[in-house]
């Protein structure tokens, strides 16, 4: 028993038996775990084993919405918060729950900035089959993502948007808990995911938060109903904390864009911003930006926001903001004019063609992400280094007709063996149907 009157085994048992903990008890538990990690000799130290047992009890028995809210506050209070009040204009943040070929940040951030919104976006790295915005940006020669809080604010003020790594001082408790959840099979809890995501968004300080909750085989949430529940909980936490908050539910059964791999995805985003918006990746980025603009600015509804953003995109304004952001972060801004020459290129390229004719029935996002990661584009452990040049350039999507011999993918690999393995694996994972397949919807729902 400690001065606060809590005993760790009793709190774990409460969760194991389906009980509910309040914010004080959760705060005590989490700060005790952080103290234990830092080696502080305090009577409240919570061991890794105890925290793992608590998380697993919660994952199995379920956390309540009140616990998710309380845990979010505990996580936010564990570190510093960004103060964006000095920025001129409304502030928006966006977050995706993680997908494959998902370059929406590189499109939506400069697009929102072009419309007068300020965006300080703290992003993550890829892990497992999912890609990470920081890895994508770092494929641009010279670009820095480790910016100080002063640098973040300066770039956001000058350019309108900045995309960088989360500082160590923001939500340290989420980082510690996430690392433990990752190795104890306790990631897949709606309440834990919602509090983890929303703690980072609340600490990042934006007045409006747009979430892109992915649903499908390549996402944490296997179907649209589960994603809607997560989206609803996130929005409730955001609104409860006094922010404007909206969540899109979008499909992640197949990769969103055509590039899967860091430099390939940057090149795709530059190409997309060089013409009027077209395709599924552009559609999701546009909806994220329109939701953010209409909530942040108050003088425009969703349709008006979308119209304005399409106009700005087509006029090249978002590409120009991206160019200035890359330059402000030390990167080679020529990437926005000549991506093929500036970005690293893989030494081996291998085209793969369809063996049979029909309609593409499935390009499974998780398997494609794992294939790109196996080529070197992703990591299986946090300390792994990614190869910026390798990956897959998809030429078909679900619903496309193919003939025998139609090019379906180009593998970008470090050597011939890796290209052979990836090409053979892609042939196995691509499903082609004799019957016509309608292209599936990408935007599944909007939760406000
Ligand atoms: N992304 C996060 O930031 N946290 C989670 O728990 C899951 C996905």
> How confident is residue 126, by pLDDT bands cut at 50, 70 and 90?
confident
Structure confidence by residue, pLDDT tens digits, 185-216? 898 899 999 999 999 999 999 999 999 999 99
Helix residue ranges per DSSP H, 95-139: 104-114, 133-137
Structure confidence by residue, pLDDT tens digits, 330-351? 999 999 999 999 999 999 999 9
200 belongs to the catalytic site: yes
User: Hey, what CATH topology would domain 344-433 get?
Assistant: Aldehyde Oxidoreductase; domain 3 (3.90.1170)
> How confident is residue 44, by pLDDT bands cut at 50, 70 and 90?
low
Residue scoring higher pLDDT (131 or 285): 285
From atom 3 of ligand 1, which residue's Cα is the shortest distance away?
A: 197
Mean pLDDT calculated for residue range 46-67: 96
Ligand 1 binding site (Cβ under 6 Å of any ligand atom): 97-98, 178, 187, 192-193, 196-197
Domain boundaries, the chain: 8-62, 91-339, 344-433
Residue in 15, 73, 94, 95 annotated catalytic: 95
Mean pLDDT calculated for residue range 405-419: 98
Predicted local distance difference test score (pLDDT) of residue 4 = 67
Ligand 1 centroid to residue 98 C-alpha, Å: 8
Predicted local distance difference test score (pLDDT) of residue 368 = 97
Mean pLDDT calculated for residue range 211-232: 93
Mean pLDDT calculated for residue range 70-95: 96
Tell me: pLDDT of 271 over 70.
yes
Predicted local distance difference test score (pLDDT) of residue 37 = 85
C-alpha triplet 302, 304, 310: angle, nearest 5°? 100
Residue in 181, 243, 312, 366 annotated catalytic: 181
Predicted local distance difference test score (pLDDT) of residue 124 = 82
Of 336, 284, 277, 334, give the one whose Cα is nearest residue 310: 277
Predicted local distance difference test score (pLDDT) of residue 187 = 85
Mean pLDDT calculated for residue range 221-239: 95
Mean pLDDT calculated for residue range 383-405: 95
Architecture in CATH of 91-339: 3-Layer(aba) Sandwich (3.40)
Predicted local distance difference test score (pLDDT) of residue 278 = 97
Query: Residues 6 or more apart from 394 whose CB is under 8 A from it?
Result: 101, 255, 258, 259, 260, 363, 368, 408, 409
Average pLDDT of the residues of the chain: 94
Predicted local distance difference test score (pLDDT) of residue 178 = 87
CB-based contact 244:94 (threshold 8 Å): no
> How confident is residue 131, by pLDDT bands cut at 50, 70 and 90?
confident
40 belongs to the catalytic site: no
Which of 30-34, 180-184, 410-414 comes out lowest in average pLDDT?
Answer: 180-184
Give CA–CA dist 91/120, Å, rounded. Answer: 8
Q: Which residues pair with 121 in a beta bridge?
A: 163
Tell me: pLDDT of 371 over 80.
yes
Predicted local distance difference test score (pLDDT) of residue 43 = 60
Tell me: pLDDT of 53 over 70.
yes
Tokens found for residue 144:
């820095």
Ligand 1 centroid to residue 193 C-alpha, Å: 5
Predicted local distance difference test score (pLDDT) of residue 220 = 82
Structure confidence by residue, pLDDT tens digits, 135-156? 999 999 999 999 999 999 999 9
């Amino acid at each position: 028993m400690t001065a606060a009157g809590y005993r760790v085994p009793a709190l774990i048992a409460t969760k194991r038996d389906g009980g509910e903990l309040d914010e004080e008890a959760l705060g005590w538990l989490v700060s005790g775990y952080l103290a234990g990690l830092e080696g502080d000799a305090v009577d409240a130290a919570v061991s890794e084993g105890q925290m793992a047992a608590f998380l697993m009890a919660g994952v199995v028995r379920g956390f309540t919405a009140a616990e998710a809210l309380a845990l979010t506050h505990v996580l936010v209070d564990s570190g510093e918060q960004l103060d964006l009040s000095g920025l001129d204009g409304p502030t928006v943040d966006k977050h995706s729950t993680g997908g494959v070929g998902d370059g929406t940040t590189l499109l939506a951030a400069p697009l929102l900035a072009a419309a007068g919104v300020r965006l300080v976006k703290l992003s993550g790295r890829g892990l497992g089959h999912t890609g990470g915005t920081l890895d994508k940006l770092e494929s641009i020669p010279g670009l820095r993502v480790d910016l100080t809080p002063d640098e973040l604010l300066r770039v956001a003020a000058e350019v309108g948007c900045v995309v960088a790594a989360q500082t160590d001082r923001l939500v340290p408790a989420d980082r510690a808990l996430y690392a433990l959840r990752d190795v104890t099979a306790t990631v897949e809890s709606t309440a834990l995911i919602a509090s983890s995501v929303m703690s980072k968004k609340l600490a990042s300080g934006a007045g409006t938060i747009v979430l892109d909750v992915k649903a499908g085989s390549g996402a944490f949430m296997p179907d649209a109903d589960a994603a809607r529940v997560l989206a609803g909980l996130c929005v409730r936490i955001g609104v409860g904390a006094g922010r404007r908050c909206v969540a899109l539910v979008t499909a992640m059964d197949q990769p969103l864009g055509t590039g899967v791999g860091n430099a390939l995805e940057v090149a795709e985003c530059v190409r997309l911003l060089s013409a009027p918006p077209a395709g599924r990746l552009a559609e999701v980025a546009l909806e994220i930006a329109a939701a953010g603009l209409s909530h942040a600015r108050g003088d425009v509804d969703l349709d008006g926001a979308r119209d304005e953003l399409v106009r700005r995109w087509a006029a090249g304004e978002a590409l120009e903001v991206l160019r200035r952001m890359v330059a402000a972060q030390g990167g080679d801004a020529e990437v926005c004019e000549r991506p093929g020459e500036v970005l690293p290129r893989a030494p081996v390229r291998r085209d793969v063609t369809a063996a049979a004719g029909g309609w593409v029935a499935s390009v499974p996002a998780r398997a494609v992400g794992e294939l790109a990661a196996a080529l070197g584009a992703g990591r299986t452990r946090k300390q792994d280094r990614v190869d910026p040049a390798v990956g897959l350039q998809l030429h078909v999507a679900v619903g496309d007709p193919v003939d025998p011999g139609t090019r379906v993918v180009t593998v970008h690999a470090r050597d011939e063996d890796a290209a052979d393995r990836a090409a053979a694996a892609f042939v196995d994972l691509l499903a082609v149907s004799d019957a016509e397949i309608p292209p599936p919807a990408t935007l599944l729902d909007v939760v406000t």
